[in-house]
Chains A and B, each alone.
Chain A
Amino acid sequence: MIDDGIIAAIASGYVESAIGIIRVSGKNSIELLKKIFYPKKNTFEPYKIYHGFLKDSNQKIVDEVLVSVFKSPHSYTGEDSFEINCHGGLLIMQNVLDLVLKNGARLALPGEFTKRAFLNDKIDLLQANAIVNLIKAKTQKALDIAFGQLLKKNTTIIEELREKIIFLMAENEVLIDHPDEDLSDVDLNKRLLILNEITKLIQKLLKFSEKGKYFFEGVNVAIIGKPNVGKSSLLNELTGHNRAIVTDIPGTTTDIVSETLNLNGIPIKILDTAGIRKHSNKIEYLGIKKSHEAIDEADIIIAVFDSSRILDKNDEDILNIIKNKKNVLIVLNKSDLKRKLLLPLNIDPIEISCTKKTGINTLKSRLYNMLIEDYNESEVVSLNTSQIIALKSALKHAKKIKKAYIDSLDPALISIDLQQLADYIEQIIGKIENEDILDNVFKNFCVGK
């Protein structure tokens, strides 16, 4: 039997749906399950479905799920395996997958479950043809999904990145393989510039994938403000559900309340937070702490002020929190009452009234505009987790190369570093062959005799 680790994938497909299925297979996969799954009873029998919670290493609940367990050889792959039925939001599915990956599984290659089934004699040889086609189709699909936007619309970035890396490799090879040539085409300062451009291109890709995230994974919007300004009321107004409790007692909301909203096709998660002020008790303290966390994690912040009262110390604290943030919309609620609040002049607030339901649409369209502000279709890429990790490793590695350049490290060693850089992002820019490097050597440098 093959043993090439525990593999995992989102089996239900990476689309918003009612239930998400994460499939995990491999020797010792049940051990992995025990590390993350907390059912009532912790002994797993095959063919049973267990109800419980997935928790991360900090015991934080990731999701409430159903898990089916299969034991070797009576499973699809022929190995020990399990399937998690979680909530179907993209974000949740990704979180559940990440949890599994963090605990020792790796992302399955396209068709790898089927391949294992085949190798473990779960599927007849006669089906080989079909399987092979399946692998091909799935690979294609995986590529389409992974590169979809990327390849079609960002080929120039990818090509530029590839070309620049090949150039650096070629130049380094010229230094090694043609030492007695007239190397007036080799400009050692230029390579730092090119390395810098490579870094920028990678950062650009990562940034584009962040933007892509809006469209593929949804955006977090946090409503913040001091107590009693109408945050919970606003959540209810925006989503059209009476999700959060509204009272005239300041400090009503003590924990995060969230609700989703589909804003012109962009999935948005709106978080109502506890009002921020000098706290009076432990419960409130914990709630406010969470509010601060929500602020840090939010993609966009809606800061609410009560227009019917004059600016106080608590409002000033809120202004301070948002001072240096760009992703903020400022809302003046209770505009149905007499205006007493005077905000600094450089602020352009949106006046609304939750009671009278005015200004809500303006707020929504300002929110939408902010999301798509510098959004340009060609700048959205969808990268999967492993690609993002690879790009980030490449960024780190580029720093190492920069240092190597500055220290004028031996080109024979630099070549290993450059190769490593290429290896990291091979899955995005395509494999670089020795021929590609030689081509570049003889195209850009006048060497050989």
Chain B
Amino acid sequence: MYIYPKKYDCIVIGGGHAGCEAALICARLKLNTLLITISVDTIGAMSCNPAIGGLAKGHLVKEVDIFGGEMARNIDETGLQFKILNKSKGPAVWSSRAQADMPAYRLRMKHTLEHQDYLDVKQANVEEIVIEDGKIKGVITHIGNEFLCDALIIATGTFLKGKIFIGLNEFHAGRAWEPPADKLSESLAKAGLVIGRLKTGTTPRLDGRTIDFDALEPQMGDDEPIPFSFKTKNFNPPNYPCYLTYTNTKTHEVIRENLDKSPLYSGMIHGIGTRYCPSIEDKVVKFPDRERHQIFLEPQDANSNEIYADGLNTSLDYEVQVKYLRTIKGLEKVEIIRPGYAIEYDFVNPIQLKHTLETKKIRGLFLAGQINGTSGYEEAAAQGMVAGINAAMYLLEKPPFILARDEAYTGVMIDDLVTKGVKEPYRIFTSRAEYRLLLREDNTHLRLAEKSYEYGLIDKVHYEEIQEHIKKVNEAINILKTTYAMPSIDFNKRLESINTKPIKTKVSLSKILARPEINYSLLQTIVPDLPLLNKIQMQQTEIEIKYEGYINLQKQQIEKFKKLESIVIPEDFDYDKVAGLSAEIRTRLKEIMPKTLGQAMRIPGMTPVAIQIISIFIHKKHVQSKPA
């Protein structure tokens, strides 16, 4: 066997969304890093939908951005359409989404990796991991080369024993027509990791020349697009349209008649699919009364005619796909370029991981992305970021990098994964975050800059820029709260001029801004000496003032959360010595080994009594270990 002479600090397997972020962050922290991937031509490839962001996912992208990741910059440079979702609702749930030029996205990512100092990129299929004394030592590739390292991040996505289904046809593949990684998951099992199986699917790609776009409703992006990255300046992206169409009862009829040709309904697929991305056949079966389902036809490549049919993910037979597609308005003459398919793959249940994404069993081995049972590019990227930073901290012997549930969506996701485990592919939702009003997209970089700077993940210039921004907003809030207006005829006339009720008593400016019909710039027209703010600063000032009551409520809840989170369960805590726990709960606890009482409480099936018992024992231990 050829042992490669250069020894790496960190190796990353997989050039997907998790792997790219992990490798870039390690290299940016100046650790000698190697990225190995099956094909360098698919680095940064988007396996499914041509979009980045969306509800809660947009948050993740921005979190990756503040901690030195690439996803936000990459989409800002290669997006085809940008849009803020939920604009009709309050800013707490606004979310950024962009259509991506898939090849451009991929190539820019590859370019970034290739130009990153401290990072080597190599093409190979890793078949084995090498462990010595419970510590990671290196990897062996399909042509028998060994690469040595002190830390390893595995980010192999859907490739482990990947198996694709189209109708009753099945073949081995990691994604579309790429080779799978069949041996690696056996090596992981041998190392003691418990492996499970999941399933997901994708939609057919259509030939744009055969679609009657004139018959369909176009959907444009925002006129004033907002970038994902706080670093992006002078943002001027294109604005390609998407098109909206619907299935109809005829479509559903065709699908229903052909369910026997579905690998899903004929029992060929054993992996567990996600409710979050149901296939069209699932939707038709589960909601028989629905007369139509929405379909977005999305651009995915500025230089080709290929169109992505969002909402039609399917593993039905090729013939059936052709048939049902042609029942849909605008698609009467459509030609398929690539059919939809389902894929089944191995994953590692994430309860076997710590919050750092390091495996509990093998020191220096980190897992990130879809291998942990998640689905989605943004979920993968955020994990890649966390695994990358933590591999670096591990190598530098520094304290781990952990984001709490009250700090970031990434923190919510990872805590969910390692505490609750995965039964179906995990996707982030805003509802998973308890403190949604505080964890907004618009303030992501403001909330996290401090921590990022502490870990050396942003440079001083950007850090100071952010601090300046925070200062301005706080200043404005302070002025609004401490400046009072008198019910003078003059002031009431001014109020009238902006169509709002007069005041009868002395009132703070913040009370006036809190009125639904008032915003900062409007208030500025009648109180000209208010501080000058940019658009985002104004928006943040308005949020803080208009939602003050709710924001304070969430802050109180966070205090409560922190109290439980601060009760640390000692690492050597012996659950076998704790009387009174049920066998089931005891097993769960031993498996997950929660770090805090708060985490223990979030374990599914946990009871208040069990928590009380544990808290007593922790307390007792604590009291006893203190000198009297």
Contact = CB atoms under 8 A, between A and B. Distances in A.
Interface of A: 2, 109, 111, 115, 118-119, 121, 125, 128-129, 132-133, 135-136, 139, 173, 175-182, 184, 410-413, 415-416, 420, 433-435, 437-438, 442, 446, 448-449
A446 B287 contact: yes
Contact of A410 (B92, B292, B431): B92
Nearest to A143: B609
A133 B581 CA distance: 9
A437 B430 CA distance: 12
B587 to A, nearest CB: 18
B431 A415 contact: yes
Contact of B613 (A132, A182, A437): A132
A412 B612 contact: no
Nearest to B431: A173
Contacts of A176: 55, 86, 89, 93, 430-431
A293 B578 CA distance: 55
Nearest to B432: A434
Interface string B578-614: 1110000000000000000000000010001100110
Given A119-B623, A179-B55, A416-B437, A438 B613 contact: no
B437 A412 contact: yes
18 contacts: A111-B612, A115-B612, A128-B620, A129-B580, A132-B578, A133-B579, A135-B612, A139-B608, A176-B55, A177-B56, A410-B90, A412-B436, A413-B547, A413-B550, A438-B429, A442-B275, A446-B283, A446-B293
A227 to B, nearest CB: 56
B352 to A, nearest CB: 20
Given A177-B55, A416-B554, A446 B89 contact: no
A329 B274 CA distance: 64
Contacts of A135: 580, 609, 612-613
Interface in B88-127: 88-90, 92-93
Given A132-B613, A177-B56, A410 B275 contact: no
A170 to B, nearest CB: 9
Given A129-B580, A412-B436, 4 more contacts: A115-B612, A128-B620, A182-B293, A448-B275
A209 B93 CA distance: 41
Given A133-B580, A177-B56, A438-B429, A449 B277 contact: yes
Contact of A178 (B55, B579, B620, B623): B55
Nearest to B95: A179
B280 to A, nearest CB: 9
Contacts of B553: 416, 420
B313 A177 contact: no
B431 A125 contact: no
A129 B616 contact: no
B620 A125 contact: yes
A77 B93 CA distance: 49
Contact of A448 (B85, B277, B619, B623): B277
B276 interface: yes
Interface in B274-325: 274-278, 283, 286-287, 290, 292-294, 296, 310-311, 313
Given A132-B579, A176-B89, A448-B276, A416 B620 contact: no
B495 to A, nearest CB: 22
B137 to A, nearest CB: 39
Contacts of B420: 435
A177 B429 contact: yes
B219 to A, nearest CB: 9
Interface centre among A135, A179, A433, A442 (most CB of B within 10 A): A179
Given A115-B616, A179-B85, A411-B93, A446 B430 contact: no
B616 A435 contact: no
B562 to A, nearest CB: 16
Contacts of A435: 420, 604
Sorted nearest first, the 3 A-B pairs with minimum C-beta distance are: A410-B90, A132-B580, A129-B579
Interface in B414-473: 420, 429-432, 436-437
A166 B626 CA distance: 45
A121 B620 CA distance: 9
A433 B580 CA distance: 25
A119 B286 CA distance: 54
Interface centre among B311, B313, B429, B436 (most CB of A within 10 A): B429
Contacts of B278: 442, 448-449
B293 A119 contact: no
Nearest to A448: B276
B599 to A, nearest CB: 15
Given A115-B612, A129-B579, A135-B613, A182 B85 contact: no
Interface in B516-558: 547, 550, 553-554
A200 B617 CA distance: 43
Interface centre among A109, A139, A184, A448 (most CB of B within 10 A): A448
B185 to A, nearest CB: 27
B33 to A, nearest CB: 36
A101 B184 CA distance: 63
A412 B93 CA distance: 7
A139 B582 CA distance: 15
Contact of B620 (A111, A119, A448): A119
Contacts of B286: 446
Contacts of A2: 619
Contacts of A416: 437, 550, 553-554
Nearest to A444: B287
A416 B547 CA distance: 12
Contacts of B617: 128
B276 to A, nearest CB: 5
Contacts of A109: 612
Contacts of A173: 429-431
Interface in B561-589: 578-580
B580 A136 contact: yes
Interface centre among A129, A133, A182, A449 (most CB of B within 10 A): A449
A327 B554 CA distance: 46
Contacts of A136: 580, 609, 613
A1 to B, nearest CB: 9
Contacts of A184: 290
A45 to B, nearest CB: 28
Nearest to B310: A449
Nearest to A416: B550
Nearest to A417: B550
B432 to A, nearest CB: 6
A420 B429 CA distance: 20
A426 to B, nearest CB: 10
A175 B89 CA distance: 9
A435 B602 CA distance: 11
B619 A119 contact: yes
A111 B553 CA distance: 31
B613 A412 contact: no
Given A2-B619, A182-B293, A449-B313, A410 B89 contact: yes
A435 to B, nearest CB: 7
Nearest to A427: B608
A128 B93 contact: no
Interface centre among B85, B93, B311 (most CB of A within 10 A): B93
Nearest to B624: A125
Contacts of A128: 579, 617, 620
Nearest to A442: B275
Nearest to A130: B579
A185 to B, nearest CB: 8
Given A136-B580, A448-B278, A449-B311, A415 B616 contact: no
A184 to B, nearest CB: 8
Contacts of A119: 616, 619-620, 623
B46 to A, nearest CB: 15
Contacts of A139: 608-609
Interface in B326-368: none
Contacts of B580: 129, 132-133, 135-136
Contacts of B283: 446
A438 B431 contact: yes
